[in-house]
Amino acid sequence: MESMPMPMMPPCARVAFLVMSWWSSWVRSCACMDFHFHFHACRRRPCRRHQHRLVWFGLDSLSSPHSGLVLYWTCVLSVVILLAVNPVVSFVAGQSTSPLTAPSEHGRPSGMGGIPAALPPHTSTWALLVCTSRYWFNYRHVANTLAVYRTIKRLGIPDDRIILFLADDMACNPRNAKAGCVYSTPQGHDLYGEDVEVDFRGKEVTAENLVRTITGRQTEDVPRNRRLLTDEGSNVLFYLTGHGGDNFLKFQDHHEIQSADIGDAIHQMTVQRRLRRMFFIAETCQASTLFESIRSPNVLAMASSDRGESSYSHLVDHEVGLAVVDRYTYYLEKFMDERVPTATSKSATMAHLANAFTFDELGSTPVMDTRNFPTPLEKVPVTEFFAGVMNAVDDDGAVTLPPWL
């Protein structure tokens, strides 16, 4: 993968570096002079003034017991220079140009790594839906992902803003008694339908392809419909389901992704200003451990189970012969169908969603992680992440849409 550019060194650090380079060169010259005097047979010694200077800096000889003072004086001088030079540089420049406070493209102060301090307007909603399990007995993981896919399409997120990973094709599996169909309830809607656009399927579903999709570091031959083309006005729904454990998620029983990989990928996305807010959902065993390494701002995370707990299946379809959905996704789909009928529904908030799951229903502890999400959940509608953004314009500019759309 490509490497990220290194941040520019602040002016105060550059001045300190130059002064320290000069001082260290002078000290080395003194040490070489002293060595020269000891090496020659004439045994000449430096003048008293020069020798006093060497003793002062702990360099009266190469084996002097005072040689440890060099490190001490180096540290002292570094601190003094940094404290003295920084106010001067800031006063002359009028403002600090440190990368931690560099102005953003919008003229607002930026946070660490160029992250905007204030949220830009919400201009688009994207979804990254990932099923990492293959084989027939993992039918429910494909159904989980397609259930979320159906919900967000109903609420207006188009296929060109949905990246769908399906590790197996359950609809066309020869053991599927309901050929061409996938259900999350025995008498429910067909989730596969005729308009499912799968972007990564089968062996293409790998941890590497997922990380490359999140970070935008895909090769040139990857088509546009497989790219997460978000910007700093984009909200992202990131849904993961499969078999996992403490800080990892398996991909097709062959390899795995670590929680640190997920955290690093999201951080890169944030630094690249390709993210406004994210809602990360993990539907797997010990799911809460997958977002322990996320440190990026404005990332809200929810897990179907806590550390040391399993995530359980739900609703056995005897005709199919398997459980067809996991419990968390079943109640998530139920909540969305009942509380969010349209894309403009604002009554249901993320606080309502956090309270929509109980231990008795799931058999595990649902976890909502708000460490990196400063906005109160009561002020964030569910449609911020599950519904598309509708914008209309005419010759005169933007048009306000009626509330019933």
170 to each of 138, 199, 242, 284, how far by Cα in Å?
9, 16, 15, 19
Of the CA atoms within 13 Å of residue 187, those in its CB half-sphere come to 0
The pLDDT value recorded for residue 99 is 32
Question: For tokens 């005169």, what's the residue?
Answer: 396
Give the residue numbers annotated as catalytic, written as ranges.
243, 285
Q: Write the DSSP symbol of residue 207.
A: H
**Mean pLDDT for the stretch of residues 107-130:** 71
What six digits make up the tokens of 260?
């640190």
Residue 291's identity, in one-letter code, is F
For the whole model, what pTM was predicted? 0.71
Question: Which pLDDT does position 105 carry in this prediction?
Answer: 35
Query: Is pLDDT above 80 for 136?
Result: yes
CATH code for the domain defined by 124-399 = 3.40.50.1460
Q: How far apart are CA 55 and CA 31, in angstroms?
A: 11
| Domain span(s) for CATH 3.40.50.1460 in the chain | 124-399
pLDDT, position 23: 57
- The whole-number pLDDT of residue 158 equals 95
pLDDT digits (tens, 9 = 90+) for 176-218: 999 999 999 988 889 998 889 999 999 999 999 999 999 999 9
Please report the pLDDT score of residue 189 as a whole number.
Answer: 87
Of 107-121, 175-189, 195-209, 267-281, give the lowest mean pLDDT range: 107-121
Whether residue 57 is predicted with pLDDT greater than 90 in this model: the reply is no
Q: Are 198 and 170 in contact (CB under 8 A)?
A: no
Vertex 112: Cα angle to 227 and 93 (nearest 5): 125
What's the mean per-residue pLDDT of the chain? 80
- The pLDDT of residue 37 is 40
d(CA 259, CA 291): 6
Q: b/e for 114-137, b at 16 or more Cβ within 10 A?
A: bbbeeebeeebbbbbbbbbbbeee
From 105, 101, 78, select the one nearest 8 (Cα to Cα). Answer: 101
Per-residue pLDDT tens over the stretch 333-369: 999 999 999 999 999 999 999 999 999 999 999 999 9
